[in-house]
């Protein structure tokens, strides 16, 4: 049973998710985008399963700081959006929780307490 939670350590949503996993006695590894980055294959896997609209956070300041050309390219082409996410990990919706738990594949994006409790 290996669960990895991907995100940024200082993020309040990440803290809520990790606290809930601890409360539910779910062991996990933390992958810090700021220290470890993320590879294109992982983001592609998440986008394939969840869709770009779920994985790409357009509500944050990083998205708002992009040029109009960058935003248009991301909206027009998923590969361009994924390339932007590799470089701008702050635009990946947090947390991403991935792995296997009780012999079930797990892939969650964003923090929803009920969804976490139902999964674990």
Q: Which backbone phi and psi does 28 adopt, to 5 degrees?
A: -155, 160
Question: CA angle 110-120-28, nearest 5°?
Answer: 75
pLDDT at 62 (0 to 100): 94
pLDDT at 94 (0 to 100): 97
Q: Tell me whether residue 109 is one of the annotated catalytic residues.
A: no
Distance CA 44, CA 32 (A): 18
pLDDT in tens, 66-116: 999 999 999 999 999 999 999 999 999 999 999 999 999 999 999 999 999
Give the residue numbers spanning the domain of 44. Answer: 3-119
Number of structural domains (the chain) is: 1
- What average pLDDT does the segment 4-30 reach? 96
SS3 content of the chain, % helix, strand, coil (to 5): 55, 20, 25
- What average pLDDT does the segment 14-21 reach? 97
pLDDT band at 18 (very low <50, low <70, confident <90, very high): very high
Which is catalytic among the residues 1, 9, 10, 11? 11
CA atoms within 13 A on the CB side of 72: 3
Q: Judge whether residue 1 has pLDDT over 70.
A: no
Looking up residue 93, the CATH number of its domain turns out to be 3.40.30.10
Per-residue burial over 36-68, b if 16 or more Cβ lie within 10 Å, else e, is eebeeebbbebbeebebeebbbeeeebbeebee
pLDDT in tens, 42-75: 999 999 999 999 999 999 999 999 999 999 999 9
pLDDT at 29 (0 to 100): 97
Q: Judge whether residue 3 has pLDDT over 80.
A: yes
25 token code pair: 């006695």
């Amino acid at each position: 049973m290996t669960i990895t939670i991907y995100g940024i350590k200082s993020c309040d949503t990440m803290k809520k998710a990790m606290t809930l996993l601890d409360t539910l006695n779910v062991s996990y590894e933390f992958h810090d985008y700021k220290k470890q980055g993320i590879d294109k294959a992982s983001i592609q896997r998440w986008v394939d399963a969840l869709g770009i609209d779920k994985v790409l956070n357009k509500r944050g300041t990083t998205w708002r700081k992009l040029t109009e050309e960058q935003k248009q390219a991301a909206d027009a082409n998923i590969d361009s959006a994924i390339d932007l996410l590799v470089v701008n990990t702050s635009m990946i919706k947090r947390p991403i929780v991935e792995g296997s738990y009780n012999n079930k594949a797990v892939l969650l994006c964003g923090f929803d307490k009920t969804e976490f409790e139902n999964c674990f």
